[in-house]
Amino acid sequence: MRGVRVLREIRAAAIGATAVMLLPAAVHADDNKNKDIIDYRQHIMKTLNEQSAALGQILSTTVPGENTSAHLQTIALAASLALKAFEPKVPGGEAKPEVWANWPDFSKRMTAFAQKTAEMAKISKERGNDAALQNVVDALSCKACHDVYRAEKK
Amino acid sequence: MIRSAALVKLTLLGAAFIGTSVLSVSAFADDQETIDYREHIMKTMGEQVAAMNQMRQGKIAPDNLAVHAEILAVTAATAKNAFTPKVVGGEAKADVWANWQDFSKRLDELVAATTDLAKTAKQGGLTAASPKLQGALPCKGCHETYREEKK
């Protein structure tokens, strides 16, 4: 009888120890998952940044404008991905917690951004770049959103 | 008379000097703009390949794989224009322009490969696109020859 009880105690202790060992592994897995989510949305935001900067150079006539329409297409495509990339509630990177605290406002801004850039890309294909770029300042109002929702890391 | 001739010479010399200075500043500014511009394009491709690799590795759901592939293809098609001005600097080795025919051919291959990837991702999703994403993009081969990575 005593032997059985000792065996049960040993088994219970072993199960407890295993659980304790697995817990940090689970936390670590969550950390990795969160990092993947942050990395992913940053790939999208950095794409928007690079493409907007390239377009800005064209608009300031410091580089030729042959690729204007292509930049407008890529900005529209990347903008169409951004909202979904922010859906998982994972603060970190340069995103302030306000993104999720004020989700209806953030979501509305992202949706408007995607719509306006898509419209610009469409006009560029149908009526040319000059017509498309008439609304560029309104469509690429990145700063207004960044001022509220981004904590830039230098 | 001598003094006024000397003054005229000095003025002309000064004007020429200022002209040269302005010219070189302007050339320098243009060069940096050219380098910055092509780096915006290359970094865009880097970000997009990284996002697709996250999907290939199962880290992110592949719902939008085809959109990423399309961004990559559209961007790849802008690269040749960006590298056409012969401006050495940034991470581009001088060999880009010394071997322009080869470099240019490789960029054409990149455009073909990324266009094919975009089509495959749109039609067959991750399963079909994954092998092409892993092996068919010629980034590394070209970077080994023409890129001097700055860490």
Domains along the sequence of chain B with CATH: 34-146 (1.20.120.10)
- B64/A81 Cβ within 8 A: yes
**pLDDT range class, residue B28, cuts 50, 70, 90:** low
Nearest Cα neighbor of B89 from B100, B78, B97 is B97
* Residue-level pLDDT at B150: 86
Mean pLDDT for chain B?
A: 86
User: Are the C-beta atoms of residues B146 and B95 closer than 8 Å to each other?
Assistant: yes
Q: Is pLDDT of A10 > 80?
A: no
Q: Which residue has the higher pLDDT, A57 or B21?
A: A57
Lowest mean pLDDT among A13-17, A106-110, B67-71, B95-99: A13-17
A37-90 pLDDT tens trace: 999 999 999 999 999 999 999 999 999 999 999 999 999 999 999 999 999 999
Report the b/e string of A86-118 with b at 16+ CB within 10 A: beeebeebebeeebbeeeeebeebbeebbebbb
**pLDDT range class, residue B137, cuts 50, 70, 90:** confident
CATH superfamily of A37-149: Cytochrome c/b562 (1.20.120.10)
ipTM of this complex: 0.83
* Residue-level pLDDT at B138: 87
B74-133 pLDDT tens trace: 999 999 999 999 999 999 999 999 999 999 999 999 999 999 999 999 999 999 999 999
Comparing CB atoms, the residue among A47, A53, A70 nearest residue B78 is A70
For A43, which residue in chain B has the nearest alpha carbon? B47
Using the Cα atoms of residue A52, residue A57, residue A59 and residue A65 in order, give the sign of their dihedral. Answer: negative
- A63/B74 Cβ within 8 A: no
Q: Could you tell me the residue ranges of all domains in chain A?
A: 37-149
B37-49 pLDDT tens trace: 999 999 999 999 9
- A36/B81 Cβ within 8 A: no
Three-state SS sequence of A42-102: HHHHHHHHHHHHHHHHHHCCCCCCCCHHHHHHHHHHHHHHHHHHHCCCCCECCECCHHHHC
Provide the shortest C-alpha distance from residue A63 to chain B (in Å): 7
B7-19 pLDDT tens trace: 445 444 444 444 4
pTM tops 0.90, yes or no: no
C-alpha torsion B48→B53→B55→B57, nearest 10:
-170
> What is the C-alpha to C-alpha distance for residues B84 and B41, in angstroms, rounded to an integer?
13
For B55, which residue in chain A has the nearest alpha carbon? A40
> What is the C-alpha to C-alpha distance for residues A22 and A35, in angstroms, rounded to an integer?
20
